[in-house]
Amino acid sequence: MIAALAFVALLCLLVMFQLALAFGAPWGQFAWGGQNKGTLPVGYRIASAVSILIYSFIGAVALDKAGVIELFPAGFSDITMWVVFGYLVLGVLMNAISRSRPERYAMTPVALVLAVLALLLALGVGMPQQFSG
């Protein structure tokens, strides 16, 4: 459960970051390839808002997988957590090859930590075992 809580806490920080970007924070060099220094153009600001929805869904899947909440049908979170892990591994790669040095140095470690935590969740490490009788 610690992995799930750490995972969701880090996602919450990303939600706040994306929310700030969506509302015009001048941190464009840290997101979306780092091509836009300062405030993001409208299209990327909308993408930041959409990413908040994605992060929220991923957080719900993680909490469901860890047994903190019961939101999805049986087995859904087991499969979806593996998809999330793959998505986050892709995020590590995309951040690592970013042309933006600030994005590469700030976001690659964040994506890597999230990917490792997602792997632990997908594997069920540290979670109580479900027994059926």
Distance of CA 81 to the CA centre of its chain: 11
pTM attached to this predicted model: 0.89
pLDDT tens for each residue of 26-41: 999 999 998 899 999 9
What value does the CA radius of gyration of the chain take, rounded to a whole number of Å? Answer: 16
Per-residue pLDDT, 42? 97
Q: How does residue 1 score in pLDDT terms, banded at 50, 70 and 90? A: confident
Per-residue pLDDT, 120? 97
- pLDDT (mean) for 65-94: 96
Rounded to 5°, angle at Cα 109 from 36 and 78: 110
Q: How far apart are CA 92 and CA 33, in angstroms?
A: 12
- pLDDT (mean) for 76-102: 96
- pLDDT (mean) for 58-64: 97
